[in-house]
A = this chain, B = another copy of it.
Amino acid sequence: MAQLEVSDFAQAVIDRMAECKDPRFHQIMSSLVKHAHAFMREVDLTPQEWMAGIQFLTATGQKCDDKRQEFILLSDTLGLSMLVVALDQARGARALADQPGEKPTEATVQGPFFWAGAPQLELGADIGEGHPGEPTYYHGRVTDTFGQPIANCEVDVWSGDADGLYDMQKGDNMSLRAQFRTDQEGNYRFWSIKPTFYPVPGDGPVGTMLDRMGRHLNRPGHMHMMLQAPGHERLVTHIFVKDSPYLDSDAVFGVRNSLIVEFPKHAPGRAPDGRHMNKPYYTAEYDFRLVPSAA
Contact = CB atoms under 8 A, between A and B. Distances in A.
Interface of A: 1, 3-6, 9-10, 12-13, 16-22, 25-29, 31-47, 49-50, 54, 57-62, 64, 69, 71-72, 75, 78-88, 90-91, 212-215, 247-249, 253, 255-257, 260
Contact of A86 (B6, B26, B28): B6
Contacts of A1: 247-248, 255, 257, 260
Contacts of A249: 16
Given A17-B214, A35-B38, A47 B253 contact: no
Given A33-B79, A50-B80, A61-B61, 11 more contacts: A1-B257, A9-B253, A10-B79, A16-B213, A20-B213, A25-B212, A36-B39, A37-B80, A46-B84, A46-B91, A47-B85
- Sorted nearest first, the 6 A-B pairs with minimum C-beta distance are A61-B61, A19-B214, A20-B214, A35-B39, A35-B35, A13-B79
A199 to B, nearest CB: 15
Contacts of A72: 54
Name, among A10, A13, A26, A257, the residue most crowded by chain B CB atoms within 10 Å (CB to CB): A13
Given A36-B35, A88-B46, A29 B60 contact: no
15 contacts: A1-B248, A4-B82, A6-B86, A6-B87, A9-B86, A13-B78, A17-B213, A27-B43, A28-B43, A29-B213, A32-B39, A35-B38, A44-B87, A46-B84, A58-B71
B212 A83 contact: no
Contacts of A255: 1
B50 A84 contact: yes
A253 B12 contact: yes
A9 to B, nearest CB: 4
Contacts of A22: 212
Nearest to A82: B9
A17 B19 CA distance: 42
B214 A78 contact: no
A218 B12 CA distance: 16
Contacts of A49: 28
Nearest to A247: B1
Name, among A16, A49, A81, the residue most crowded by chain B CB atoms within 10 Å (CB to CB): A16
Contacts of A3: 256-257
